[in-house]
């Protein structure tokens, strides 16, 4: 009969092995069990609903704070308190919305504005504007003073 090549564990070695197995099982069974699971905080403010507070009356934008439905060719008039000339909607289509600020010798064009585009908000002279939704030949714009 061949000699027994497996060493007989000593009591000290058995105790260490038992502790090691117990520690591994404890770590394995308790990993990820910290009780309350919380949702991560949103990285940015939630996007406004395109339909909440939307109007077709372009005059509501006179103070520079509105959510309005527009069509190609519409002109949004701003009052004196807004530091921006009137806003003309030049085009609405799959490529986005083309907007033009023009008045007193200056014209600025913002082409291809889309809902939830990269940076989201475009700004002209202290007035923020965002395309919230494109629906066929209409679009919903959110216009507000910068920083609000």
Decide which of 89 and 22 is more confident.
Answer: 89
Share of the chain above pLDDT 90, in %: 41
Distance CA 112, CA 96 (A): 4
Across the range 42-57, mean pLDDT stands at 58
Say if residue 66's pLDDT is above 70.
yes
Distance CA 90, CA 137 (A): 12
Across the range 41-46, mean pLDDT stands at 44
Distance CA 7, CA 15 (A): 16
Give the residue extent of every domain in the chain: 58-145
* 132 φψ region: left (φ > 0), alpha (ψ -120 to 50), beta (else): alpha
Distance CA 91, CA 33 (A): 54
pLDDT tens for 81-137 read 888 889 999 999 989 999 999 877 888 999 999 987 765 688 888 899 999 999 999
**Inter-residue contact 131 to 139 (CB < 8 Å):** yes
pLDDT of res. 144: 93
């Amino acid at each position: 009969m061949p000699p027994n090549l497996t060493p007989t564990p000593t009591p000290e070695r058995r105790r260490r092995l038992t502790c090691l197995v117990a520690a591994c099982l404890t770590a394995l069974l308790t990993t990820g069990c910290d009780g309350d699971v919380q949702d991560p905080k949103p990285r940015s403010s939630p996007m406004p609903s395109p339909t909440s507070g939307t109007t077709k009356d372009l005059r509501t934008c006179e103070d520079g704070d509105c959510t309005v439905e527009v069509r190609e060719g519409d002109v949004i008039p701003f009052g004196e308190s807004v530091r921006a000339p009137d806003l003309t909607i030049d085009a609405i289509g799959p490529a986005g919305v083309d907007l033009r600020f023009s008045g007193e010798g200056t014209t600025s064009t913002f082409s291809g504005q889309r809902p939830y585009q990269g940076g989201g908000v475009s700004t002209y002279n202290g007035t923020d504007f965002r395309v919230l939704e494109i629906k066929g030949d209409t679009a919903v714009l959110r216009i507000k003073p910068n920083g609000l």
